[in-house]
Amino acid sequence: MTTPSVLFVCVHNAGRSQMAAGWLRHLAGDAVEVRSAGSEPADRINPVAVEAMREVGIDIAGQVPARLTWDTAEASDVIVTMGCGDACPVFPGKRYEDWKLTDPAGQPLDVVRQVRDEIGAKVAALVADLRRD
């Protein structure tokens, strides 16, 4: 069986998608190829998201926001969108999930913690589902 690849996409690739990628790396290890990107990437990761993830032992500080490319999306098995709207390309045969999550940009740490925990639960469910496939 080949290693499945999951692409997390949000607008700035600085908060939600980076937290989701961090959770997936943490929970699945090498069993899943992890990618993240943004339709309009920021120049750096949201420092409050970094702090919230650090609290649960996951370090995303070294990640860099990346622009969503056609090739990255096409090469991914699962594409999870988080508020990127029409900027996210659609490919036949791909598995899509759209997670409705609060954007952590500009939010205080207590709100970002809630977003972090919600993402963690969604990623855990995704990992369990991928293991069944």
pLDDT tens for 74-111 read: 899 999 999 766 666 677 778 999 999 999 999 999 99
Does residue 104 fall inside a structural domain?
yes
Does residue 133 fall inside a structural domain?
no
Count of domains forming the chain: 1
Output the CA angle 15-106-104, nearest 5 degrees: 35
> Which CATH number covers residue 106?
3.40.50.2300
Does residue 130 fall inside a structural domain?
no
DSSP state of 127: H
Burial 99-109 (b: 16+ CB within 10 A, else e): bebebbbebee
pLDDT tens for 60-79 read: 999 999 999 889 988 999 99
Does residue 132 fall inside a structural domain?
no
Does residue 129 fall inside a structural domain?
no
Does residue 80 fall inside a structural domain?
yes
Does residue 53 fall inside a structural domain?
yes
Structural domain containing residue 58: 5-123
pTM of the model: 0.93
> Which residues are catalytic, by number?
10, 84, 88
